[in-house]
Amino acid sequence: MSHASTIAAISSAPGAAPRALVRLSGPLARSITEGLCKHGGLSLELDARRSVRARLHDGAGEQPVIVQWMPAPASVTGEDVVEWHLCGSPPLVSAALHCALRAGAVLAQPGEFTRRAFENGRIDLTRAEGVLALVHARNEDERRAASSLLLGGLSGRVGELREQLDDLRALCEASLDFDEAETGGVPRADLLDRLGSLGESLERALAWECARESPLGLPRVVLAGRPNAGKSSLFNRLVAGTALVSDWEGTTRDALSATWATPGGDVELWDCAGTDGGGTGDSRTNLGAADQLARDRAHELLRAADLWLWTVDISSGLPDLGREFRAHSEVAQPPPTILILNKADALSAESLALTETDAAANLPLGIVAVVAASSTQGLGIDSLSGAVARALAGDASQGEIRALSARHREALTAAAAKVGEASQLLGSGAALDLAAHALARATEELDSIQGRTTPEDLLSRIFARFCLGK
C-alpha cells in the first residue's frame, strides 16, 4: 500500500544525548534531503542505498549530519526512507525536524512508521505488536517477551501452521470429486493423520505463546517518597498488609507487594525503601550494604512502575515539591503520578485546606491527582483508590500490551478448535467440503494474528499506543 504523504518525526528518545535521529518516510524523503543537505559544498545526489556525511541547512545555519538513505522497497517501511543522524541537542534536532516539515513533510502520527511497514508487507502484525511491547517494556522479563515477538517467534510458527492448513484444505477440496479408491482421492486416514499432526503443532504454538508472555500481569503501582513519609502505613491500610512500621528512618528494607482491589480492577501494589533521588541527600553520609541494596531495589521498582503514589509527609508543613520530585526523576522517568499529602490528620481542617491549595499551586508536571490521606484515620483512602483507577484507565498502553498475548492465545485456541471440528467431521464420515470449511475458519483465526483479517478498529487501537517516531 503506497502513501501520498511523506512523514517525519524525531525517532530517538527525548532530551539531550550524544546523538539523535530524525526519520522521514515517503515519496518526498529523497528530494527533501537532497534540497537541505550538502556534501563538499554540493547538493547530495542520492541514488543507490548509501550513508554519507553532510551539512544540514536548518534555516538558521548548518549542522553536521550523517544521512542514511534507504530506497524503496528495501527499507523499514517499504517506502523511500531517510534517516538524519544529528548531534543530540534538542534545539538543533527540533530545528531539523521543522525544516523537513517546511519542505513538504508532515508530522508522523504515533506508530505511523510501524503501521506503514505493516501495510506495505514489511512486517506482520505480531512483529508490530513486538515493537509496541518492546517500547513499553519495564523490566528484563517484559523486554525478553517483547523481543521474542519482534524477532518472529510467533510469526514463524503461525506461518508454518498456515501452510499446513492450506495443504490440508487443498487435499480435501481436490478429493471432493473422487472416491478413496480412485487416483485423485486421498484416504481419510491420511487426512486424519495430518490433522492430528496439525493439532499438535497448534498446541506447541499455544504453549510457546503462554511461556513467552511476561509473568507480570497486573498494573504495577509503587509507593514512592522519602523515608518516613508513611508509605508502609499506607500500604498496610490499603491491602491489610504487615509491613514493618517505625519512626526510625530506613526501617523498610524488603520490598513488599500485594494485590489491591480498586474500582478499576486489581493492581499490584508495592512498598519499598524510601528514596531521595540517587541517595546523595541521605542524612547518613555512608549507606550500609543492606541500605544500599534496599535503595537499589526501590529504584528498580520505580523504573518499572505504571503509576507512582508519591507520598509526602505534611504533618510539619508542605515540603518543596519541585525539588523533591526532581530528585526522584533523576532515578527514573516518572510515570503518571498521584501526590499523596500524607499524615493529614495532624493538621486542622483550616491548615489542611491551605496546604492543599499550596500544593495545587506548585505541582510538578506529571501529577494527575492530589489526595490528602491518613493511614491511621482512614482519611482519603476511598478517594485514593478511585484516583488510581482513573489514572490507570487514562493511560492504557500497558493494558493494551497485556491484551496482545491474550488475543494471540484466543486465536490459536479457536484455530485448534476448528481443526478438532474438522477431524471429528472426517472421522464421522461427513462430507469433505464441511471439513474444508472448518479448516478455512481455522485459517481465518491464524490470519487475524498476522493482521491479514484484523478489523480496522483493532489495528487503529493497537497503533495508537505507539509513541511518536516509531
CATH fold of the domain at 7-108: Gyrase A; domain 2 (3.30.1360)
Give the residue, 336 or 462, on which the prediction is more confident. Answer: 336
* pLDDT-based confidence at residue 140 (cuts at 50, 70, 90): low
CA dist 93 and 10 (Å) reads 8
Which one of 3.40.50.1100, 3.40.630.30, 1.20.120.430, 1.10.8.50 gives the CATH number of domain 126-214+398-463?
Answer: 1.20.120.430
Give the residue, 469 or 37, on which the prediction is more confident. Answer: 37
* All CATH 3.40.50.300 domain ranges in the chain, comma separated: 220-305+307-394
* pLDDT-based confidence at residue 281 (cuts at 50, 70, 90): very low
* pLDDT-based confidence at residue 280 (cuts at 50, 70, 90): very low
Entry field: residues in the chain: 470
Query: What pLDDT is stored for residue 139 in this prediction?
Result: 64
| Mean pLDDT for the chain overall | 82
Query: What pLDDT is stored for residue 405 in this prediction?
Result: 77
pLDDT at 290 over 60: no
Give the residue, 30 or 217, on which the prediction is more confident. Answer: 30
Query: What pLDDT is stored for residue 250 in this prediction?
Result: 43
Least confident stretch, 27-31, 143-147, 249-253, 344-348: 249-253
**What mean pLDDT comes out for the span 215-232?**
80
Query: What pLDDT is stored for residue 177 in this prediction?
Result: 66
CA dist 432 and 438 (Å) reads 10
Residue-wise pLDDT tens digits, 47-85: 888 899 999 988 888 899 999 999 999 999 999 999 999
Give the residue, 321 or 80, on which the prediction is more confident. Answer: 80
Which one of 3.40.50.300, 3.40.50.2300, 3.30.70.260, 3.10.20.340 gives the CATH number of domain 220-305+307-394?
Answer: 3.40.50.300
Residue 77 near residue 117, CB atoms below 8 Å:
yes
pLDDT at 285 over 50: no
Query: What pLDDT is stored for residue 397 in this prediction?
Result: 55
**What mean pLDDT comes out for the span 421-432?**
90
CA dist 354 and 150 (Å) reads 52
Query: What pLDDT is stored for residue 61 in this prediction?
Result: 86
**What mean pLDDT comes out for the span 276-290?**
46
* All CATH 3.30.1360.120 domain ranges in the chain, comma separated: 7-108
Query: What pLDDT is stored for residue 278 in this prediction?
Result: 41
Give the residue, 357 or 28, on which the prediction is more confident. Answer: 28
CA dist 68 to 9, 81, 84, Å? Answer: 15, 8, 7
Residue-wise pLDDT tens digits, 198-215: 999 999 999 888 877 655
Q: In percent, how much of the chain has pLDDT > 90?
A: 32
Residues 6+ apart with CB under 8 A from 103: 28, 32, 35, 36
CA dist 313 and 233 (Å) reads 12
* All CATH 1.20.120.430 domain ranges in the chain, comma separated: 126-214+398-463
